[in-house]
Amino acid sequence: MFCASPNPLVSSMWNLKPRALTISSSMEPKIPHVLSVAGSDSGAGAGIQADLKACAARGVYCSTVITAVTAQNTVGVQGVNVVPLDFVEKQLKSVLSDMRPHVVKTGMLPSTEIIKILCQSLREFPVQVFMKEALVVDPVMVSTSGDVLAGPSILDSLREELLPMADVVTPNIKEASRLLGCAPLETIADMRSAAKSIHKFGPRNVLVKGGDLQHSSDAVDILYDGKEFFEFRSSRVKTQNSHGTGCTLAAAIAAELAKGSQVPSAVKVAKRYVETALEYSKDILIGNGNQRPFDHLLKLKGSFCMPHLFDPQDLFLYAVTDSRMNKRWGRSMIDAVKAAIEGGATIVQIREKDVETRNFLETAKACLEICRSFGVPLLINDRIDVALACDADGVHIGQSDMPASIARALLGPTKIIGVSCKTPEQAEQAFVGGADYIGSGGVYPTNTKENNPTIGLDGLRTACLASKLPVVAIGGINASNAHSVMKLGLPNLKGVAVVSALFDRESVSTETRTLYELLAESTRVVS
Q: Which residues are catalytic?
A: 351, 420, 449
SS3 410: helix
Residues paired with 63 in a beta bridge: 35
Q: How far apart are CA 298 and CA 284, in angstroms?
A: 11
Residues 6+ apart with CB under 8 A from 280: 294, 295, 298, 301, 304, 306
Gyration radius of the chain over CA positions? 23
Pairing of strands 305-306, 2-3: antiparallel
Element (H or E) spanning 65, and its range?
strand 61-72
Spatial CA neighbour of 39 closest among 63, 68, 65: 68
Spatial CA neighbour of 112 closest among 151, 54, 69: 151
Residues paired with 137 in a beta bridge: 106, 169
In contact, 142 and 174? CB cutoff 8 Å: yes
Q: How far apart are CA 104 and CA 113, in angstroms?
A: 18
Q: How far apart are CA 445 and CA 500, in angstroms?
A: 12
In contact, 454 and 442? CB cutoff 8 Å: yes
Pairing of strands 378-381, 394-397: parallel
Q: How far apart are CA 429 and CA 427, in angstroms?
A: 5
At residue 47, φ and ψ (nearest 5 deg) are 60, -150
The edge-to-edge listing of strands for the beta sheet with 218-224 is 77-82, 61-72, 33-41, 103-106, 135-137, 168-169, 205-210, 218-224, 229-235
SS3 205: strand
Pairing of strands 394-397, 416-421: parallel
Q: How far apart are CA 152 and CA 158, in angstroms?
A: 10
Q: How far apart are CA 481 and CA 282, in angstroms?
A: 48
Other Cβ atoms less than 10 A from the Cβ of 214: the count is 8
In contact, 518 and 24? CB cutoff 8 Å: no
At residue 496, φ and ψ (nearest 5 deg) are -130, 145
